[in-house]
Every structure is written in structure tokens, then in C-alpha cells.
Structure 1
Amino acid sequence: MNSTYLAATCTALTGPSSIRLVEQVVRPLQSGEVRIRVHAAGLNFPDLLMTQGKYQFRPDPPFVPGLEAAGEVIEVASDVHSVKPGDRVMAGGKGGALAEQWVVRAASVSPLPAALSFSEGACWQTAASTAWHALVERGHLQAGESVLVLGASGGVGMAAVKMAKHIGAMVIGTGSNEEKLQAIDQAGADHLLDPADEELAAKVKQLTDGKGVDVIYDPVGGDLALTATRAIAWNGRYLIIGFASGTIPAFPANHALIKAYSLIGVRAGESPRRDPQLARRQSMALSELAAQGAIRPQISHRFALTDLTKALAVLERREAIGRVVIEIDTSC
């Protein structure tokens, strides 16, 4: 094993332009850790936000971004028995995936299903866990209910469309251009709407026989969030995933009172860390979904590690349809 490896490093909180490829020294493993040779890493919007210092988790530079990856185990600590060198795996964490090697906790590592390639596996876990945790654990979405997915052409949005259809719900997805709407349609959405349509709320009500949607899945925030609340059903559940628009909405409390809907925060990563029983439940559900090849990610852009700045700019310009992946070595 080489004594050094390359890692894409954020050197200042000034956005993607601060990324530099930096040689890192391989450190000894500590108890419970696994070292992975990264073959592919999935980009997520929080990766972009972290380079700008705008995410909830705000590491100080220099740091290596990247929340998820797939690759091959090259070393395990002496007390790790769940995986072994040579295993093909997926992994998640708070950062560090955008590198040739990644050291993670063994509990964060799972087998790469035969149904998924390295690139698909690298893009699977964060979006799938967000969709599952939001719709199943927090939103209690049931077959036959309706859900409005805002930003449905993004990574977590498209995963939500597929997850909701897997559950058996009626899905309305929003997309800002024809290419994105086509992708949302192919992901399985029953109805497609333009988020800029002034009649968005009225059209959602028409599609739900005047009732409004049971669940709203919102990774966007901003003004669209307030528009969407006008389309929610009595006793509806509004799932707050994130703020890709860059603006945090201020929800009118009187409106939530009058329509008796719930505003529900979703922390798909933090919640299982705080609740071991939830972590086991989520792990089992995601393992089953992965083995089935469900919620297979759509990858619109592929980049080399050396082009990470360009890849993050794609996210910043909202050009991704589905997922963006950094491919380091997918030959194995």
C-alpha cells in the first residue's frame, strides 16, 4: 500500500475554486475503522455548501469534502470483522470521500450490491437514505396517498420520486425545464409541474380532487416552499429536507394552525446516529432496497477527481439531472 494518496481539499470557504489536490499521508487505522480504495464518489449539494461555509456541518479548512463513495476495502482494524480486504463496498460519512483513499467507521460500510456499479453505489446511499428517512420514518407516507416532490430532478428529489412510487403513492414532481421534466417522468412521477407556474398550488389541488397533497417533500426552500404550503391537505406533512435555493423560508404559523399541517425537519444522517434502534431499522431497509436495485440513481455527469471544481460548478448552476459522480477508478 502506498504511503501517500491524493485528496481533493477545500482550502478556504470561498466555494469550488478553493479546491486543490493535496497529497495526504496514510495514517494508521484506529479501532473500528476501515480503509477503502475509492473507485467513485457521489457529489451532493451539501458538498458545495460546505465549500462555501453554508452547511449545518461547517468544518474548518483545510478539509476533504465528500459524503459517500464506493470502492474496495484495502485494510481493516484488528477488531473489525464485518468486512475484509478485497470486499466491494459502499460507505458514508461526514466528509473525506473525495480522495483516492477514505478511512471510515466499519458501521458506515455496507456491501456493494451486485445490482449496482461502483458509480451507482457511490451515488446511492445519501439520496436513498434521505428519501427513506423522510418519507417512511418522518412522513409516514402510505400507499394510496399523494406526495409533491419539489426539486424532483435533483439527486434527493429523484430518489424521493422513486421511493414514493415504491411505497405506492401518487407522485407529483416539479422540474424547471423540459429535459428535467422528462427525467422526472422516466423516474416514475405520475404528474409533472413547472415550479415557476403561478398556478402551481391550484394545479396540485386539481390533481388531488381539491384535497391537496398529503405529503410535501422539500429540498429546495425559498419562495417555492410558501407556494407549496397552499397545496397541502388538511393534516398534511411538510418535510423540510434542505434549502438548495439558498433561502430559508419563514413559514406562517397561522397557516399551519388553520390547516392543521405539520412542519417536519428531516436529518437523515444525524437521526440514526442519535437513535441506535432507528439506525438498525434504516440499515435493514436500505440493505433490502439496495439488493433489489431499487431507487437506482440516474447519473447525468461524470468527472475525474482532477475536475472536481467543474463538477461542483455543475451543482451550483443547477445543471445536474439526478446525480453527479466523481470517478477515480471504476475498472475493478
Structure 2
Amino acid sequence: MACNARLGVLRKHFCSASKGVSAYKAAECQQLKQPLVLLSKTSRPLEDHEVRIRNRACGLNFATYLTTRGEYQVKLEPPFVPGTEVAGEVLEVGKDVASLSPGDVVIGLLETGGLQEVVTVPGFMLDIGALTKVELKAKRDVDYCKLASLIVNYGTAWMALTRKGLIKEGETVLVTGASGGVGLAAVELAARIFNCQVIAVCRDEKSKMVKQYGAHNTIDYTRQNIRKELKELAPSGVNIVFDAVGGDGAVDLVKSLAIEGRFITIGYTAGIPKIPANILLLKSASAVGLWWGNTMQTVPDAFRESVETVTKMYLDGKINPYIQQSFPLEKVNEAFGLISSRKVVGKLVIEM
């Protein structure tokens, strides 16, 4: 099945409400920029090619919040259940799905539909890496909140640093938005996996946690001049800029690149920057972008590799997603309030 056709099938699965036999709770966006509404849904009979999951946790991120406001690059029309990153155990499998059994622990990346207790997905998600069986040493070891905080942040950071940034051991890496979920993942991977010198941009009150995850130095963008600080911390420039913020400040970050440095843009919480091409030329540097979730369709082998790699690293104890707080489904709007106020370090998770 072609990727675009598969995307249409995913939308049908995640966005439609169907009649069925088992009642479960869901948080639905019925109007953009308004609080989500908690309601009861029923699941329809399972089709042969499908997998039904008892969803235990859904990781929240800024993109999910923007989707509920109609401000994300992928637009969804209400009503819909938001949420993309889920972890749970298999309830049922259709007769055409051979690689899963009831009770298996799985993590998944949905287009939407994660903020509900039961999720039904097409089995081909296993083929493209959007649904992954988690091989635990013992079932009692499962931490659904950690699993629901893993693949988006760490998958994005891993692919950005390796496939786009061509990271090398010992390089100097600058991470903006370093206290956020994907920023903190980038800090940990660069510092702990690649032994890089990491400079993190975040507020002072968040710097303690960022340093615990491997940052060697931090810059408080609210009271320090980033360009000036970088001249002292990295006189020869930084090899990689991992930019999750964007905005006008990105120009100074490009100017702070080392010769043959790499500027990686992955998000725009401060607006879309204008990258000075002449500075790239003078430094023989490069600027590259990454929309990680879209690589599930455009470069599925790379997407699957990123999911499998970070999942294995987590199971091997090499990385440890930081969860600031978990909420029950009934308090999802409170969680979104924290995200909108930019008060989150790491990840927020909805437990179900």
C-alpha cells in the first residue's frame, strides 16, 4: 500500500467514532482553541487487519497543543481526539496480524487519537515502524509513562543529530529549547551517547535539570547575549546547532557555527527564521531541516531505524526520558495549560 493511501487509512482509524461493544473514555477537541471535552465512546468490532490496544499513556508535546488550536502545519477539523504518542498493551489482534498477541506491550505513533483509553490501528503500522512491540525482560518492568515519552523526542533528536547533523564524537553541540522534551533528548544523546561538549540554551531555573542530563554549560537567553557567550564558550564556533526555537535569534546561531558547521532546524516556537545564506557560504556550513514524523512516509527505513534505536537504548538503560508530571485523562486541559505557559521541563504525560 502506498504511503499516501496508508495515511488516508490512518486518518479513518484515528478520527472516526464507531459503534461497538466496549465503552471507553476519550478527550475530544470539539472546537479549536477551546478546552477538550471528556466523553464516552464505544469500539466497533475488530477487522481482520487491525490491532486493538488498551492505551495506558499518551505523551504530550507542543505540536499536539498547537493542533488543538489549528496552528500546527497539519490541520485537523473538529471533532477529533488529539494525541500522537501512545504506550499500552494489545487487547485483540485481527486474524491477519501474525506478529502480535494479546498482552504484548507496544508503543505507537499515531497521526491523532492518542488521548483515549482504547486505540484501534491498522496492522501495517508494524511494517513502517509506527507501532513497535517492546521486548521487556519482565512485564513488571514496564513504565508506560516513560514509553509514551520516548519515540517522538528521542527519535527526532537521534535522526537530527545523526542523519542530518552527521554528529561525531567530541564535537561541540549547541541545543536551543534545551529544557523541552526534544531539547532535553538532544542534550542527553549528544552528551551521553556521543561524548560531545554540550551548550544548552534555557532559563536559569531549568538549568539544573538540563545539566543533570549532560549539558556542560548553559546560557539563559532571557538575560544573556547568546552570541557573546558563545564566543567565550566556543571560540572556534560550534559544530552543530540543534535549533528547536527558531525566531530572529537563529541568525546569531548561524554566525556562531564553526567551519563546516551544521545548523539543524526542527521547530519554530519563536517564529520562522531567515537564515543568512552568505554566512553559510563563508563558513562552508550547512542548514538542514527535519520533520521527523513525516519521515514515516518519506523515508520509512530511516524512521523505523530511529524508533528501533532509541527504544533499544531506553531498554538498555542508556537514556532516560524525563517526565515532569503525569495527569489523569480528566485533567488533560490542565496539562495543556502548563504547555501553553512554557513551564514544562521534559515531558508531560496523560495516564489512562
Contact 1:44 1:67 in 2 (8 A): no
Partner of 2:265: 240
Of residues 137, 142, 151, the one that matches 2:177 is 151
Offset of 1:197 from its aligned partner? 4.1
Answer yes or no: is 1:171 the counterpart of 2:198.
Answer: yes
In structure 1, distance between residues paired with 2:69 and 2:309: 33
Residue 280 of structure 1 and its aligned partner are, at CA, apart by: 4.1
Report whether the alignment pairs 1:33 with 2:50: yes
1:103 aligns with 2:120: yes
Provide the residue aligned with 2:276 in structure 1.
Answer: 252
Quote the Cα distance in structure 2 between the aligned partners of 1:322 and 1:276: 27
Distance 1:317 1:275 in 2: 34
Please give the per-residue CA displacement for 1:99-140, whole angstroms capped at 9, x wherever unaligned.
111123441222344565111111111111011111111111
Distance 1:310 1:280, change over 3 A: closer
What does residue 117 of structure 1 align with? 143
Whether contact under 8 Å (1:3, 1:26) holds in the other structure is yes
Alignment of 1:32-181 (within 5 A): 32-106=49-123, 107=126, 108-112=130-134, 113=136, 117-165=143-191, 166-178=193-205, 180-181=206-207
List structure 1 segments (4+ residues) > 4 angstroms apart after TM superposition.
Answer: 113-116
| Amino acid in the other structure paired with 1:239 | I
Residue by residue, what CA displacement relative to the aligned partner does 1:19-57 show, whole Å, maximum 9, x if unpaired? 111222313334543211111111011110101111111
Aligned twin of 2:314: 290
CA deviation map 1:123-172 (0-9, x unaligned): 11111101111111111111011110001100000000111121221111
CA distance in 2, matches of 1:277, 1:41: 24
Query: Paired residue for 2:25?
Result: 6
CA pair 58-195 structure 1, distance change in 2 beyond 3 A: same
Distance in 1 of aligned mates of 2:327 and 2:229? 38
Name the residue aligned to 1:312.
Answer: 336
CA contact (8 A) 1:195 1:224 kept: no
Deviates more, 1:280-289 or 1:185-194: 280-289
Distance 1:143 1:78, change over 3 A: same
Q: 1:2: Cα distance to partner?
A: 4.9
Write the distance in 2 (CA, Å) between the matches of 1:135 and 1:74: 36
1:19 counterpart = 2:46? no
- How far apart are the structure 1 equivalents of 2:284 and 2:32? 40
- Whichever residue aligns with residue 171 of structure 1, its letter is V
- What residue in structure 1 maps to residue 4 of structure 2? none
**What is the Cα deviation at residue 315 of structure 1?**
0.6
Q: Secondary structure at the match of 1:83?
A: coil
Matching residue of 1:323: 347
Q: Is the 8 A contact 1:237 1:264 kept in 2?
A: yes
User: After the TM superposition, which of the residue ranges 81-90 and 131-140 deviates more from structure 2?
Assistant: 81-90
Which SS does the other structure have where 1:303 is aligned?
Answer: strand
**One-letter amino acid matched to 1:205:** K
Listed one character per residue, the Cα deviations across residues 174-211 of structure 1 (whole Å, up to 9, x for unaligned) are: 11132x10010111111111123443122223222x11
Query: Does the Cα contact within 8 Å between 2:159 and 2:306 map onto a contact in 1?
Result: yes
Does structure 1 retain, via aligned residues, the 8 Å contact 2:151–2:311?
Answer: no
Q: Distance in 2 between matches of 1:257 and 1:60?
A: 42
8 Å CA contact retained: 1:124, 1:297: yes
Aligned-pair CA distance for 1:69 = 1.3
Contact 2:21–2:45 (Cα < 8 Å) also in 1: no
Q: Which moved more, 1:276-285 or 1:73-82?
A: 276-285
Distance 1:314 1:23 in 2: 25
Q: How many residues align?
A: 323
CA distance in 2, matches of 1:191, 1:226: 21
The amino acid that maps onto 1:75 is: E
Structure-2 separation of matches of 1:99 and 1:259: 49
Runs of 5+ unmatched residues, structure 2: 1-19
Paired residue type of 1:83: L
